[in-house]
A and B are shown apart, each in its own frame.
Chain A
Amino acid sequence: MESTAFTFRETSLPSPPSPSPLGHMRVLIQPNLSVRGWPTSAGSRALEGFEALEDATIVTLLSKAGAFLIGSAHMSELGLGLSGDTVAQLIAQGQAQIGIMTDTLGEARLAAAHARLFGFKPSQGTVSRLGLIGLVPSMECCGVVGRNLEDIVSAMTAISKRDPQDVSMTKEALPDFDSVPSLRSETARLVVVEEYLDTLESREARAFEHALRRIERHAGLPVKQVHLPDYHLFAPIHQVVGSVEASSSAGKYDGVRYGHRTPSARNWNEMYLNSRGESFNTLIKSYLFQGAYFQFERYASFENACRIRARLLDQAREAMADTDCLVFLTRRPAHDPYRAATIKATYDAFASTLAANVTGQPSIQIPGLVADSEDDDLGVLLTGPALSDPLLLSIALHISKSNKGVSLT
């Protein structure tokens, strides 16, 4: 089990420089993050046999800070969804303290919720994506999962660094993760989105009610309600924009410079059609076809989705004007992301996490707060304003600590 859960294991671990801020922290990654000489297939036949030629910036930063990269684990094809993912499970087993997972729809947070871990998606543009083999540039980023929130904070301190090579990074000052312990989170203001409550199935609604009461009682943080009128448009916008970007960025997989090449092609066009046809599985293909449809058949709908995205950002900012974060449930018990075989099922499973990918806001999954009637930990998700990452982590620490010793049910 353990051996097949890895895609690659580093055998010779280098000795870290001393003193090292991450003090030998064991880090597991996905095979879409470049480490020189490691197999880096991003879970796709399109990168069959590909070995990275250079280290990703985040890999260099982790190593410099004294972390051990122990290997990589399985991931879904090109990081869309969670089918086949083994990172969270290996972290839960204690193989590594933290895992780096690409968060496009909420993969890092939802995988963490399933494995009863913490899962953090930082603000868009605060962690370099150079060397990350991505799919949806405007919405994906490197997320961090771990058993201890402190480990996640340390890892973030190490990897949230400016990278002149990644021009998509934010121009604002990067969050100061060293400040997390000193922030005052006991008076944090939490809100729930009313329109989100309307989407909950009854089982979810009961569990959520329970979680909010627990946060109020143990952490002493009252939770108010706020409006986000177009909340129901987050998923459609994510799908239109995400699929268009995916179809565009998957264009580079042509089986010429790397990856799978069809053995049977009588000419140039057949080579591209068949190599790409054989490279992608049905789930990602559906997504790429959807993106092609918006681009080539209904371009106005892509532009309109981007208009709505601007509006959603405004609404999210407004909803958080007087608060520190929004509260959601991470998981939806009736929608298992590990079994989702279609794009629709995938999006259903990620319904509450994907909003933060649309807005680029930081978001954290907290375990151990909420169980449903079947004793399943559904996870609580906090999403804060852009670049408020340290305060969000500080609130998560506060809630999580105040909950220690309290049983779930």
Chain B
Amino acid sequence: MNACERTPCGILRSSHVGTTITLAGWVDSLRDHGEVLFIHLRDRSGVVQIVFRPESTPFEVCEQAAFLRNEFCVSVQGQVVSRELGTENPHIDSGQIEVVASALTVLNKSETLPFPISEKSMVAGARPQGEEAINEDLRLQYRYLDLRRPSMQERLIRRHQITACVRRYLDEQGFVEVETPMLTKSTPEGARDYLVPSRHHPGAFYALPQSPQLFKQLLMVSGLERYYQIVRCFRDEDLRPNRQPEFTQLDLEASFIDEEFIYTLFEELAVRMFAVGGISLPRPFPRMTWKEAVETFGTDRPDLRFGMTFVDATDVFSHTSYSIFRRILDRRGCIKGINVKGQSASLSKNVLQNEYAKEIVPGFGAKGMTWMRMVEGRLESNIVQFFTEHEQQQIIQRFAAESGDVLLLIADPSWQLVCSALGQLRLHVAARLNLVPPGAYFPLWVHSFPLFEATEQGLSSNHHPFTMPDRVDFDPSNMEELLSLNSRTYDLVVNGEELGGGSIRINDRALQNKVFLALGLTEHDVEQKFGFFLRALAFGAPPHAGIALGMDRVVAMILNAPSIREVIAFPKNRSAYCPLSEAPSPVSRAQLAELGLLDIEEPETLPGSEQQHDLIESLSWVSRIALTDTERPVIAESLEHTRFLADTVNTHAGDHEPLFSAVPLEHRTREGTQPRICPLAENRQLFKNAPALKGGFFKVASILE
């Protein structure tokens, strides 16, 4: 077929009436009215109705059309005509017209589909199709069919438009897209690496990049000045519903810049990206320090679509006689709360006391929750009688409480815990009471995160160790001082979701060493992990900064997709498995041998006698077989021989497929048996051999002593 002759289905309108056209695409759906056959023909551009009618379509064509089924790939010739009055279809853009077929070629047939693909009803007033949930693994297994659905194609096309807009804008701003290696060395992002064994260096591994962090900084040392890349990154993290082992990042780095440059650049970029989805973001984006965000929203990624900012009430109760608050304040704790405006009617005493105070809030880690309601200008609650009149008045003032409001307070000796629990409570209440306005988008910058955080082993970097501290005169051995340092970091947060983040980097080798020292890394560790990078800093590395944006997340948000898998053409499922290609999959032993992976399978060293003892104990436990002291030496001796046998077998393994039985095994169902209660159970014969019975059950020892 000549591509020039083909007309896209979706563009046909009343203005085409009278023209003769050639279409090609897939049979989206069929409606057989005996003599007359209607089909919806679908291509990427949309859907149009084709009619096979004996009075206007040649007999052979009608005959051939009778064999059409869903998703046959066909080409059709015909004439565009207006639909009869009253038969227009509002579900499709070409619903005013239809095409009367004069010729039909079946380009390819289709097998029966694993799930319906059509999303457009053929008649007005019908329920739109394609809404019933299809098992996601089935969709992923037949992803090529899933992607035929117009809604899925729309998402991929939009995604393309968003990345195209990013490239266009960054090109305008003088950024250069540079590719960095996929086979590289483990980088310090902190997640688990995906490793790739090297055949040429047996026992050595490449790591797939968790981000191009070091390379992009090296490009700054190289003098590229403005770099970006839309790049695939890999992290072998624990499974989460909205996480992929590989994901796409907009990675960016620039020299001779400061925070303001990044803010301006990315606000404009975000505005343009969201505009592709018809969303206009308000500029400038508000900015908030990390401390402020946690203090007033209980999280470093606040959702600003609704209010309920935290109110601190610690000082209100500084002289309280209410014993619970008293004890907490004596331990230098704090009390914070939120005002749920005008929701008194939706939050009954029962919900507040039995659900929130007893169940939900303890689930957030707090010991409890205090609630008060404003009724006719007065506070009302189960504990209000413990507060003085003055305390009550102050509370009303502090929370600007009016009749119908509900105040929720959390008190705890730990500031972090109060913030985090109240933050979760704020989100929970907002979701429950539908306080989140649909279609609203509130971006903001959260900046100045703490540089370090305390861990059991000492300190770790909050962002990564190449982040510039807010001051450089610190003492790397003074833990208290280190924990008070802030970093020059910034996160872009929209609607409570972190879309990306970055920092001003360290470009001074001495300062970088000081940070490593504070992290407790030895010179040896540093040399082994980052030696090549530190050397580069010593050759006139310019001041530079960067940021990275999670593209899958950004696109999913812009397109309002329920998960990031919906905006990725071929994603892994929730178990990091690809049902389509069945990856990951086992490989042949020959392949493993070639990579030198077989030799590192089992350690060769023989365990000592103490371990031997432990081995017997552990086997005794897993087999649930107790041993007497006289049996122990016999078992030990037989295990010695067993170790030898295992070695013999491993040495001679070869590469046949393992055979578990000389007679080929297959799974079979016993024939002709209906589900039934075993007669031996029914007539209680089964109990005949039981060592102990109690009340018609086998009796066993209790689980605990």
How long is the Cα–Cα vector from A247 to B661 in the complex, in angstroms? 17
Closest B residue, CB atoms, query A235: B645
- What 1/0 mask marks residues of chain A from 78 to 91 whose CB sits below 8 Å from any chain B CB? 00000000000000
B5 at the interface (CB under 8 A from A): no
B663 touches A267 (CB 8 A): no
A267 touches B624 (CB 8 A): no
Using A51-B689, A236-B649, A300-B650 as known contacts, say yes or no to A257 and B698 having CB atoms under 8 A apart. yes
How long is the Cα–Cα vector from A171 to B665 in the complex, in angstroms? 9
Of B14-22, B221-229, B335-343, B632-640, the one contacting chain A is B632-640
**A301 touches which one: B625, B650, B661, B680 (CB < 8 A)?**
B650
How long is the Cα–Cα vector from A71 to B626 in the complex, in angstroms? 34
Contacts of B677 in A (CB 8 A): none
Contacts of A256 in B (CB 8 A): 690-691, 698, 700
A310 touches B658 (CB 8 A): yes
Contacts of A386 in B (CB 8 A): 662
Contacts of B654 in A (CB 8 A): 307-308, 311
Contacts of A170 in B (CB 8 A): 663
A50 touches B689 (CB 8 A): yes
How long is the Cα–Cα vector from A237 to B705 in the complex, in angstroms? 42
A308 touches B652 (CB 8 A): yes
Within 8 A of A (CB), among B449-488: none
- What 1/0 mask marks residues of chain B from 594 to 609 whose CB sits below 8 Å from any chain A CB? 0000000110000000
- What 1/0 mask marks residues of chain B from 616 to 643 whose CB sits below 8 Å from any chain A CB? 1011111111111001001101110111
A404 at the interface (CB under 8 A from B): no
A183 at the interface (CB under 8 A from B): no
A255 at the interface (CB under 8 A from B): yes
A296 touches B619 (CB 8 A): yes
Contacts of A261 in B (CB 8 A): 691-692
Using A257-B698, A266-B701, A305-B649 as known contacts, say yes or no to A286 and B622 having CB atoms under 8 A apart. no
A147 at the interface (CB under 8 A from B): no
A124 touches B680 (CB 8 A): no
**A54 touches which one: B616, B635, B680 (CB < 8 A)?**
B680
B586 to chain A, nearest CB (A): 11
B583 at the interface (CB under 8 A from A): no
A125 touches B700 (CB 8 A): no
Q: Chain A at the B interface: mostly helix, strand, loop or mixed?
A: helix
Using A310-B656, A311-B654 as known contacts, say yes or no to A301 and B646 having CB atoms under 8 A apart. yes
B95 to chain A, nearest CB (A): 59
How long is the Cα–Cα vector from A258 to B665 in the complex, in angstroms? 30
A49 touches B689 (CB 8 A): yes
A213 to chain B, nearest CB (A): 33
B256 to chain A, nearest CB (A): 56
How long is the Cα–Cα vector from A257 to B693 in the complex, in angstroms? 9
B653 touches A304 (CB 8 A): yes
Contacts of A292 in B (CB 8 A): 619, 622-623
A306 at the interface (CB under 8 A from B): yes
B164 at the interface (CB under 8 A from A): no
Contacts of A266 in B (CB 8 A): 701, 705
A290 touches B639 (CB 8 A): yes
B201 at the interface (CB under 8 A from A): no
A402 at the interface (CB under 8 A from B): no
A233 touches B652 (CB 8 A): yes
A259 at the interface (CB under 8 A from B): yes
A289 touches B662 (CB 8 A): no
A260 at the interface (CB under 8 A from B): yes
Contacts of A290 in B (CB 8 A): 638-639, 642
**B659 touches which one: A258, A259, A313 (CB < 8 A)?**
A313
B685 touches A53 (CB 8 A): yes
B703 touches A267 (CB 8 A): yes
Q: Chain B at the A interface: mostly helix, strand, loop or mixed?
A: loop
Residue picked from A167, A247, A304, A358, most chain B C-beta under 10 Å: A304
Contacts of B432 in A (CB 8 A): none
Of A98-106, A110-118, A214-222, A273-281, the one contacting chain B is A273-281
How big is chain A's contact interface, by range? Answer: 35 or more
B538 at the interface (CB under 8 A from A): no
B702 touches A171 (CB 8 A): no
B692 touches A307 (CB 8 A): no
B660 at the interface (CB under 8 A from A): yes
**A260 touches which one: B635, B637, B642, B691 (CB < 8 A)?**
B691
Contacts of B601 in A (CB 8 A): 300
How big is chain B's contact interface, by range? Answer: 35 or more
Contacts of A125 in B (CB 8 A): 662-663
A303 at the interface (CB under 8 A from B): yes
Within 8 A of B (CB), among A108-132: 124-125
A225 at the interface (CB under 8 A from B): no
B644 to chain A, nearest CB (A): 9
A356 to chain B, nearest CB (A): 10
Contacts of A24 in B (CB 8 A): none
B662 touches A273 (CB 8 A): no
B662 touches A307 (CB 8 A): no
B704 touches A308 (CB 8 A): no
A363 at the interface (CB under 8 A from B): no
B665 to chain A, nearest CB (A): 7
A126 to chain B, nearest CB (A): 9
B670 at the interface (CB under 8 A from A): yes
B615 at the interface (CB under 8 A from A): yes
A165 at the interface (CB under 8 A from B): yes
A240 at the interface (CB under 8 A from B): yes
Contacts of B659 in A (CB 8 A): 306-307, 309-310, 313
A259 touches B631 (CB 8 A): no
Contacts of A139 in B (CB 8 A): 662
B645 touches A240 (CB 8 A): yes
Contacts of B695 in A (CB 8 A): none
How long is the Cα–Cα vector from A138 to B664 in the complex, in angstroms? 10
Contacts of A300 in B (CB 8 A): 601-602, 650
B704 touches A267 (CB 8 A): yes
A308 touches B649 (CB 8 A): yes
Residue picked from B631, B655, B664, B666, most chain A C-beta under 10 Å: B631
**B662 touches which one: A258, A274, A276, A359 (CB < 8 A)?**
A359
Contacts of B84 in A (CB 8 A): none
Contacts of A293 in B (CB 8 A): 615, 619, 639, 642-643, 646
How long is the Cα–Cα vector from A266 to B650 in the complex, in angstroms? 42
A270 at the interface (CB under 8 A from B): yes
Contacts of B622 in A (CB 8 A): 292, 296
B660 touches A138 (CB 8 A): yes
B693 to chain A, nearest CB (A): 10
B240 at the interface (CB under 8 A from A): no
The 6 closest A-B pairs by CB, nearest first: A277-B626, A360-B662, A306-B658, A258-B689, A310-B659, A261-B691
Q: List 6 A-B contacts (CB under 8 A).
A: A237-B649, A258-B689, A269-B624, A276-B625, A294-B646, A306-B660
